[in-house]
Copies of this chain bind each other. A is one copy, B any other.
Amino acid sequence: MGITERRLKEKEKVRTAILTTAWQMVKEEGWQSLSIRKIADAIEYSVPVIYDHFESKEAILVEFGNEGLRLLTKKIQQAREKFTDPVDQLRAMADAYWNFALKNKEYYQLMYGVGMACCEGKKYLDDKERFDYIVMESIKEAISKNKEPGSNICLKYHTFWSILHGLVSIKIMGNSPVSGELNKMVLDDAINGFIKNLG
């Protein structure tokens, strides 16, 4: 069955061609200007070929969204592993989150619908539990080390994430007239407040 195998590999090639071309376009011109027709043009196939590999344009976006979450989760994981003290871990993860979002604006936009089309209440992010788990572990430890072990971990996690997401999405939307340096200070300031409030 060497023939059908080669066939499958050819198909996989086209599939990855679609994805890499699409990603290149997004990086160059943003999500707005990504279109099935342009992808087809770039990979020198006709439009319906795209639909042999992806059910819809949405499906392509989901692909990228999941990839983005995978990358982010990895970064967070690595940041956490660098420290043993939970508070240090939280600071490192906040930094990693911030850096990921700004270095991978396109991923972040897609993942959380910052200035995007689509994304109407749909949750791309099925694998988000892993991300949640990693951050919550540090929060749990940080709380148990302090005097207030009765705190709601889920609540604290949510607060943590909100702070990060707010900062990042304001930055990405370009609504913030302040410099990048100040933004980093804001991040540290907000995280400090969060940590102080842990116990």
A114 to B172, CA, bound (A): 11
Q: Can you list, as one digit per residue, whether each of A53-83 has a CB less than 8 Å from chain B (1) or not (0)? A: 0000000000000000000000000000000
How far is it, in angstroms, between the C-alpha of A186 and the C-alpha of B165 when the chains are bound?
A: 14
Tell me what chain A mostly uses at the interface: helix, strand, loop, or mixed.
helix
**Residue-wise interface mask of A (180-195) relative to B, using a CB-CB cutoff of 8 A (1 in contact, 0 not):** 0011011001101110
Residues 119-150 of A contacting B (Cβ, < 8 Å):
119-123, 125, 128
**Is there contact, CB below 8 Å, between B186 and A162?**
yes
Complex copy number for this chain: 2
Number of residues on chain A facing chain B (CB within 8 A): 47
Q: Cα distance A9–B116 when bound, in Å?
A: 37
Residues of B with C-beta under 8 A to A118 = 115
Tell me whether B162 and A166 are in contact (CB under 8 A).
yes
* B170:A162 contact, CB within 8 angstroms: yes
Q: Is A4 an interface residue (CB 8 A)?
A: no
In the assembled complex, A84 has its CB within 8 A of some CB on chain B: no
Choice from B112, B115, B185 contacting A175 with Cβ under 8 Å = B112
Q: Are A113 and B115 in contact (CB under 8 A)?
A: yes
Contact B112 A173 (CB under 8 A): yes
Bound together, the chains give a CA A3 to CA B199 distance in angstroms of: 72
Of A10-18, A34-42, A44-52, A151-159, which stretch is located at the interface? A151-159
Specify which chain B residues have a CB less than 8 angstroms from the CB of A112 in the assembled complex.
169-170, 173, 175
Residue of B nearest to A111 (CB): B175
Residue of B nearest to A160 (CB): B190
A194 vs chain B, min Cβ distance (A): 5
3 nearest A-B pairs in the assembled complex, by CB-CB distance: A166-B166, A193-B197, A162-B166
